[in-house]
Structure 1
Amino acid sequence: MLVSAARCVLCGVRTVSRNVWGKRSNVLDRRSVLGQRVLGSRSVSDSARPSLLEEFMRSDVWARYLQRLQHWGVTGSAPGEVPGMDGSHVEVKRLLPVLAELRRKENELWELRKMVTEENEDLKSLAATDMAACEEELLNLKYQLAWLLIFKEDDDDYNLILEVMAGVGGQEAMLFTAEMFDMYQRYATFKNWSFDVLGYFRSDLGGVRHATASVSGSDAYKYLKYEGGVHRVQRVPKTEKQGRIHTSTMTVAILPQPREIHLVINPKDLRIETKRASGAGGQHVNTTDSAVRIVHIPTGIVSECQQERSQIKNKETAMKVLRAKLYNMKLEEQVNKRQSARKIQVGTKGRSEKIRTYNFPQDRVTDHRIGMSVHNMDGFLLGDELLDEMIQALNDFSHYESLMEIVDNANICK
C-alpha cells in the first residue's frame, strides 16, 4: 500500500536519470518537466499537453517492457510472478488476458498500416480511421497493464484520519493551520466525502493548535495520502505591526483507517485522563469533565477529544483516533529499509522540511516535490479544482516513478 521511499512522491528526492524514451545518457528530472505547468495561469496549449503517464505509455522503454511480458506469456518462461510495486509481485496469469488482447490489437494495427499503403483511396481513408481507434485501444490496454502492476487490491480503498498541527511561528502558524483545516474540509465537500471533526483545539486569536477529522468516501485515501508533510506559509501576519513577511509552518498527517483494524489494545496500557473542555462552546464548556485524553503508554501516542458534551462519546472518538495512529505505526513497521511514512509526513515541523510553500506576496503555491506552482492563492485555498489538479499531478508523478522502478528492476534499459 505504501509507496517505496525510493520512488514515492512523498520523498521527492530521486532524480530520474533517464527520460521516458529510455535514453540514459542525458539526465532529465521529470519533476522539472511536470513543474513547467503553472496552474491558475495556463494557456490552451498547456491544457492540451499529454500527461506524464501518457508520454510514458507511448515510450519505447514501456513498449520493450511489454514485449518482455508478452514473451513470458507466450513461452511460459517466466516464474509464476513478475516484480510489481513495493517489492511485491504480480501473478503472470492476471496479466495474460490483457497481454493477449494487446497482441491481437498490435497485429490488427500492423494489418491496417499495410492497408494505408494501398492505392485505393477509399480503403486508405477507412484504414486511417480504424488506425486511430486501434491506437487508442492499445493505449488503454497499456494503462490496464500498468494498473495491474502498480496497485494491490484495496490499496487506496481506505478512509482516513486527517490530523493538522501548528508548527513553527506561534500564533501565525495556528491561524494558518485553521485555514488549511478549512481548505481540506471544503475539498471533502468538493469530492462528496464525509468530513467529521473529531477534535478542534483553538488558539487565543482564533487559530488552531491541533485538529483531527475523520474523512470517508470514494478514494479518499488515494487522493489525500500525498498531502502529509510540512506546509510553509510566507506572508505578513495579522499580528505584525511593521509589515514584515514572516515564515511559519504547519504539519498535515494522513492516517489510513481500513474498515477493519485488527489491533489488540491492552486496557492496562492506556492512561485515560479527563478534564474540562476549553475554548468556545457555550454554557457546557468548563462546567463538566467531558474532555478525554488517552495515552498509549508503550508507544507514548496521545489522542484527545473534547468535541462532544458526553465524556463517553469523547472517549469513543479518542479511541478511534488512537487505533488509527497505532495502525499507522503497524504499517510503518512492515516497511523495511526506508523511513516510516509518518516520519516522512511529520518530520520535525521545521521551516526547511517543507513539501509545499504558500507565498502570499507572490500569490503563489508551489509543491516542491514536483515543482508545480499555482498563481492563484485564493482559488487554491477554496479547496476545489486547483487543489484537486495538484493532487492529481502528484499521483501522476508517483505512478510514473513506480513504473520506471518496475522497468529498472526488469533490466529493460540495460
Structure 2
Amino acid sequence: MRVTSSHFCQWEGVARPPLEHVRRTFCQRARRGPCLLVCSKRAAMGWNCSLRAFSTDPHAVEELFARGSLQQYLERLESEYMASQQRLQSAQASEEEVKGAGKRARELAPLVTELHGLRVKVQELEDIETLMKDEDADLRKLAESDWNSCQEDIRALKHKIISLVTPSEETDESDLILEVLAGVGGQEAMLFTADVFNMYRSYATYKSWHFETLEYFPSELGGLRHATASISGREVYRHLKYEGGVHRVQRVPKTERQGRLHTSTMTVALLPQPSEIHLTINPKDLRIETKRASGAGGQHVNTTDSAVRILHIPTGFVAECQQERSQLKNKSKAMQLLRAKLYSARLEEETTKRSYARKIQIGTKGRAEKIRTYNFPQDRITDHRIGKSLHDMRSFLLGEGSLDEMIQDLMEFADTESLLELLDNDTDSKQEALRDPLRR
C-alpha cells in the first residue's frame, strides 16, 4: 500500500475515530485548557535507530515522498516485513528460515513503526481540517493551532522514514587517516596546505574527535609539504569522506611584491581505518627498515634508529613514520598508515564500480578533480560539486561552524543521490523480473 493520505487509515490496526468523538475532544479541550489532542512530538518520534543526516529542507523531503518509486519501495519493504512475521509464526518454517526472518523483521521494524505513525498523523490532520470548517469560531481557532503542530509532526516522520531507507556505507563509522600534500604553486601551495591541515585539526576538536599527527614535513617558510594524521571518533569517516580531492586557493602570496593574484593547489585524501576483520596482512609480505630520523629533535634524532619504513611487497605501498622518539611507536603508526592505504585501495576499486555516475564521490589521493576553491580577494569558499558558496574565509579556516555547514550539505546531497540510486536500481530490478519470468 502506498503511503498517501487517501490510504493511511486502511493500514491494519489503525481505527479511524468517529468525527463526533474528535469534535467532542476539542470542545473538552476548549473548556479545560491546553490538553494535547495531537500526541506530543517527543512521544510520536521516540525510537532507537540512529538517523542518517538528511536534508532538513522540507521541500526536498516532500519531493522525495512524492516519487512513485519511493512509494513502491516502501510498499515492498512493508510487505517483506509482513511476510517475515508470518514466516516466524509458521510451523513449517525451518530453523534457518526462522532465523533469517527474525533478522529481517528486526531490521524493518523501525521503518514499519514510523510508517504506522505517519498514517495516524495524516488521519489526525484530515480530522483537524474538517473541524477547521466548523461553525464554532473557538473550535476553528483550536483546530488551526493543532493543524500547524500536526503538519510539523508529519514532516518529522517523513524525514525519519527517508533517513531509515537511505543506504549507508560500512565504513561510515570508521576512523580514518588524513593525508595532505602540497600541489602546484611552490611555497604558496605549501602555506595553504598548512592552513588546510590546521583547519581539519581544529574541526576534529570542534567535533570532539581525537586527532594525532603521524607524519609532518614542513617547508622552509613555515608551510607544509606533506602530512598524515589519524582521526578517531563518532562517524569520523562519514563526515570527512567527501573532503578528499584537489583544493584550490586564489590569493596574493605574502612573498608577492607586485600584488599579483596566484592560484595554487593542494590535495586531501581520506583513508578509512580498517578493523582486523576487514583486513589481514601477512607478515611475510612486509619489509621493515629502520633508520635515523631527520629534522628537528635534538641529539636523540641523530643517535638512534627510531624512524621506521614499511614496504608491502605485493602492492609496493610504503608507509613511514619518524614522529615519535620510540621505534616501537613509530612502527605501530607506520603499520596503521599502511593498513589504511591497503584498505582504501580495495574500497576505491569497489566504489568506482558501484558509483561512478554520482556527482559527489569519495575523494582519495588518486582523484584529481578540483572540488573546492578558496578565493581570498572575494572572501568566498565555493564547493563546485553542489554549487554552494560561503563567505568569511577566516571563520571557515577556523574549522568550526562554517566548515561543518558545508560538510553537512555535502552529506545531505550525497544521501539524496544514494537514495535515488537505490530507487532506480530497485525499479530496474523489478522491470527485469517482469521481462524474465524465471527470476520471479
TM-score by length of 2: 0.72
- Per-residue deviation at 1:153? 7.9
1:55 aligns with 2:59: yes
User: Mind listing any 5+ residue stretches in structure 1 that lack a counterpart?
Assistant: 1-49, 81-88
1:111 aligns with 2:111: no
Once residues 276 and 125 of structure 2 are traced to their aligned partners in structure 1, the CA distance between those partners, rounded to angstroms, is: 47
Aligned to 1:346: 365
Q: Which residue identity lines up with residue 156 of structure 1 in the other structure?
A: D
| 1:218 alignment partner, one of 231, 234, 242 | 234
- Per-residue deviation at 1:228? 0.9
1:245 aligns with 2:296: no
Describe how 1:34-183 pairs up with structure 2 within 5 A: 53-59=57-63, 61-62=65-66, 64-65=68-69, 67-69=71-73, 71-72=75-76, 95-152=111-168, 156-183=172-199
Aligned to 1:375: 391
Map Cα deviations across residues 53-77 of structure 1 (whole Å, 9 max, x no partner).
Answer: 4212123753645543565467679
Once residues 235 and 53 of structure 1 are traced to their aligned partners in structure 2, the CA distance between those partners, rounded to angstroms, is: 34
8 Å CA contact retained: 2:175, 2:231:
yes
Aligned to 2:40: none
Once residues 113 and 277 of structure 1 are traced to their aligned partners in structure 2, the CA distance between those partners, rounded to angstroms, is: 75
Once residues 177 and 150 of structure 2 are traced to their aligned partners in structure 1, the CA distance between those partners, rounded to angstroms, is: 44
Once residues 164 and 55 of structure 2 are traced to their aligned partners in structure 1, the CA distance between those partners, rounded to angstroms, is: 19
Once residues 406 and 53 of structure 1 are traced to their aligned partners in structure 2, the CA distance between those partners, rounded to angstroms, is: 21
- Per-residue deviation at 1:230? 0.8
1:281 aligns with 2:281: no
Structure 2 CA distance for partners of 1:226 and 1:79, relative to 1, 3 Å: farther
8 Å CA contact retained: 2:70, 2:423:
no
CA RMSD of aligned residues (A): 3.1
Structure 2 CA distance for partners of 1:138 and 1:155, relative to 1, 3 Å: farther
Q: Which residue identity lines up with residue 299 of structure 1 in the other structure?
A: T
Map Cα deviations across residues 387-412 of structure 1 (whole Å, 9 max, x no partner).
Answer: 11111111121222233334444559
User: Mind listing any 5+ residue stretches in structure 2 that lack a counterpart?
Assistant: 1-53, 85-103, 432-440
Q: Which residue identity lines up with residue 317 of structure 1 in the other structure?
A: K
Q: Which residue identity lines up with residue 365 of structure 2 in the other structure?
A: V
| 2:279 alignment partner, one of 244, 260, 263 | 263
8 Å CA contact retained: 1:230, 1:346:
no
TM-score by length of 1: 0.76
Structure 1 counterpart SS, 2:364: helix
Which protein has greater RCO, CA pairs closer than 8 Å, 6+ apart?
1
Describe how 1:195-344 pairs up with structure 2 within 5 A: 195-335=211-351, 336-338=353-355, 344=363
Structure 2 CA distance for partners of 1:136 and 1:303, relative to 1, 3 Å: same
Q: Which residue identity lines up with residue 345 of structure 1 in the other structure?
A: T
Once residues 261 and 203 of structure 1 are traced to their aligned partners in structure 2, the CA distance between those partners, rounded to angstroms, is: 39
Map Cα deviations across residues 174-208 of structure 1 (whole Å, 9 max, x no partner).
Answer: 22111111111111111111111111112222222
Once residues 201 and 300 of structure 2 are traced to their aligned partners in structure 1, the CA distance between those partners, rounded to angstroms, is: 26
Q: Which residue identity lines up with residue 346 of structure 1 in the other structure?
A: K
8 Å CA contact retained: 1:53, 1:400:
no
Matched residues, number: 353
Map Cα deviations across residues 112-170 of structure 1 (whole Å, 9 max, x no partner).
Answer: 11111111112212222222221111111111111111144865222111111111222
8 Å CA contact retained: 2:310, 2:335:
yes
Q: Which residue identity lines up with residue 204 of structure 2 in the other structure?
A: A
